[in-house]
Amino acid sequence: MSPTVEASPAPLWPLPCRLHARRRETRDTVTLELEAVGPGLGEFAPGQFNMLYVFGVGEVPISISGDPAHPGRLVHTVRMVGAVTRALGRLPRGGAVGVRGPFGTSWPLEEAAGSDVVVVAGGMGLAPLRPALYALLARRERFGRIVLLYGARTPGDLLYVTDLRRWRARMDLEVEVTVDAATDGWRGDVGVVTTLIPRARFEPASTVALVCGPEVMMRFVVRELQARGVPDGSIYLSMERNMHCGIGQCGHCQCGPFFVCRDGPVFPYRRIAPFFRLREL
Amino acid sequence: METLERLLAAHPFFKDLRPEHLQVLVGCAANVRFEAGQYIFREGEEAKTFYLLRHGRVALEMAVPGRGSLTIQTIREGDVLGWAWLFPPHRWHFDARAVELVRAIAMDGQCLRDKCEQDHSLGYELVKRFAQVIVERLQATRLQLLDVYGHVPHR
Ligand SMILES: Cc1cc2nc3c(=O)[nH]c(=O)nc-3n(C[C@H](O)[C@H](O)[C@H](O)COP(=O)(O)OP(=O)(O)OC[C@H]3O[C@@H](n4cnc5c(N)ncnc54)[C@H](O)[C@@H]3O)c2cc1C
């Protein structure tokens, strides 16, 4: 895994940005494209997150969901659940957002070179994995098979349908999508994401697995990957804990001896396994 | 027959099955295909067969009053379709519909039950494999009911 990222230029001071574009993904999810008011947006690594600050409302950690090859426009996908995320979702074009980051560890794409890569996403978990997919495809020749297994609640909850359609059309990427509950007109698979793992084509012993989704989903995904023979050391998870400061000081996101904001959110499964079953603290 | 035996041996459901057992099973097997949209079986009908899917996708559906036909799961090549033939009352619990062209090996349930009675080691082997499938489907159903992607943001 990539080492903890160096402190960003201004970890405690938000960079002024404004909303450039917004795309509705699902009933309760939007993708926001931000641009810096002045110069200042730096690079990020797939898997990292930013603290987004809505003035007068508050600040929340949100994964970066855009293409790392185009860091000038910051892309985040937000599910509107509470005060801050709803305010983000309602932001008018040109509206102000403060950005601190990028924070956290990233997906181990360097280590994955030469291996098969299996990306398993559940629900919103596809957001922090999308930059990894962009990066993998940008240097496609460096990897063996690449498989994306994505599960969502219903067809209407699928994120990035345009990307999914494009990825599906590629011959060098296997994309399997499944939903828990089909609606009229859905012609794809029905069932949880774990059911896709036994039938996906990859070489378990030389596979790196990148997993993000609800913790309960990740638990069962890990079990299926293990059953296929993927070594624990090759499984990486992105964890989520409520966090406030983003730099390992406030202690809100502690998970065993780790702070998710500083030591994660991407962890090798082997490292996090003993604490994986703990409920959110 | 030789081809059927090879197909059976190659199917994940019969992985590592003893060759003498495979030979017995071939006697109850036949190649079948279903066109897209065709029903393979219907809820409540007598369950006489099960299928080893070799190609294509099958939707397990249930008719729900007021909501029409609801897909509860899809299965596909490499999967096994149907266990009701093995357990009384031998009636299907769901409708099974071919979503696309499906090629499968149909196994005659009555024929198999007779063979299992004659050879309990074969019967044990089959029941073990079906029990595993049932456990997997139960687990998947539980996860589906948990609605794991639903309420918690991100994760
Ligand atoms: C590293 C990291 C990356 C994240 N990436 C994304 C992302 O890409 N997109 C995205 O939409 N969200 C992401 N989140 C989650 C996001 O930070 C929370 O949804 C946000 O903090 C909620 O703030 P709020 O003020 O809108 O809601 P609040 O008013 O704080 O909460 C509203 C409701 O949601 C529940 N809730 C809020 N946050 C969480 C949580 N973390 N876990 C469980 N329940 C919660 C609360 O219990 C409450 O019921 C990420 C979180 C972390 C730690």
- Please give the average per-residue pLDDT across A174-183, as a whole number: 94
Does A30 or A250 have the greater pLDDT score? A30
Sign of CA dihedral A239, A242, A245, A250: negative
pLDDT per residue as tens digits for the range B94-141: 999 999 999 999 999 999 999 999 999 999 999 999 999 999 889 888
Does B136 or A163 have the greater pLDDT score? A163
CB contact under 8 A, B148 and A124: no
Chain B residues whose CB is inside 8 A of the A195 CB are 73, 136, 140
pLDDT higher than threshold 50 for residue A4: no
Q: Quick one: pLDDT at residue B150?
A: 65
Pick the closest to residue A16 from A74, A77, A62, A86 (CA basis).
Answer: A74
pLDDT higher than threshold 50 for residue A34: yes
- Residue A267 amino acid letter: F
CB contact under 8 A, B146 and A216: yes
A193 within ligand 1 shell (Cβ under 6 A): no
pLDDT higher than threshold 80 for residue A10: no
- The complex's ipTM? 0.82
- B146 min Cα distance to partner chain A (Å): 9
Question: Closest residue of A to B72, CA-based?
Answer: A190
pLDDT higher than threshold 70 for residue A197: yes
pLDDT per residue as tens digits for the range B16-56: 999 999 999 999 999 999 999 999 999 999 999 999 999 99
Chain A residues whose CB is inside 8 A of the B37 CB are none
Q: Quick one: pLDDT at residue B45?
A: 96
Closest by Cβ to B154, choosing from A124, A157, A184: A124
Closest by Cβ to B74, choosing from A189, A194, A212: A189
pTM of the model: 0.88
Q: Quick one: pLDDT at residue A1?
A: 47
The rounded distance, in Å, linking the Cα atoms of A204 and A231 is 8
Question: Closest residue of B to A151, CA-based?
Answer: B149
Question: Closest residue of B to A196, CA-based?
Answer: B75
pLDDT higher than threshold 80 for residue B73: yes
Point out the ligand 1 atom lying closest to the alpha carbon of residue A64: 8
pLDDT higher than threshold 50 for residue B154: no
pLDDT higher than threshold 50 for residue A3: no
| Contact residues, chain A to chain B, C-beta under 8 Å | 62-63, 79, 81, 85, 122-125, 127, 151-153, 157, 178, 180-182, 184, 186-192, 194-195, 198-199, 212-217, 220, 240
CA–centroid distance, A54 to ligand 1, in Å, is: 14
Number of inter-chain CB pairs under 8 A, A vs B: 84
- Please give the average per-residue pLDDT across A118-133, as a whole number: 97
Q: Quick one: pLDDT at residue A5?
A: 43
